[in-house]
């Protein structure tokens, strides 16, 4: 199974490697959300803005979430192709 292209971190930060007692390098903290997640969140915002929920509830939310990630994947593919 291939790994998803996440686009890397959405908000890269300077390296924060520190030396451990054993002399090894370790990354301090988490890198946060991926670019793929960030694009999906922004897409989801535009999908739900001004929409009515009606009785569709969870099914509609699942559809929007899948659509948001499909858009994010397409944007990352387009970025890789250019």
Could you tell me the mean pLDDT of each successive run of 10 residues in the chain, 82 residues long?
Answer: 78 66 60 88 89 74 92 96 90
Residue 3's pLDDT is: 82
The partner residues of 18 in beta bridges, in order of sequence, read: 26
Residue 48 lies in a domain: yes
Residue 43 lies in a domain: yes
Residue 65 lies in a domain: yes
Residue 76's pLDDT is: 96
Residue 52 lies in a domain: yes
Residue 5 lies in a domain: no
Residue 11 lies in a domain: no
Gap between the Cα atoms of 40 and 71, Å rounded: 7
Query: Which among 71, 12, 11, 63 has a CA at the least distance from the CA of 41?
Result: 71
pTM of the model: 0.69
Q: How many structural domains does the chain have?
A: 1
Residue 30's pLDDT is: 57
The structure tokens listed for 76 are: 């990352």
Half-sphere exposure of 22 (CA within 13 A, CB side): 3
Gap between the Cα atoms of 54 and 37, Å rounded: 27
Residue 72's pLDDT is: 96
């Amino acid at each position: 199974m291939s790994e998803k292209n996440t686009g890397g971190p959405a908000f890269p930060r300077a390296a924060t490697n520190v030396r451990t007692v054993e002399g090894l390098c370790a990354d301090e903290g988490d890198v946060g959300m991926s670019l793929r997640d960030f694009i999906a969140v922004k897409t989801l915002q535009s999908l739900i803005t001004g929409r009515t929920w009606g009785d569709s509830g969870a099914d509609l939310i699942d559809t929007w979430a899948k659509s948001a990630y499909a858009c994010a994947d397409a944007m990352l593919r387009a970025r890789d192709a250019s």
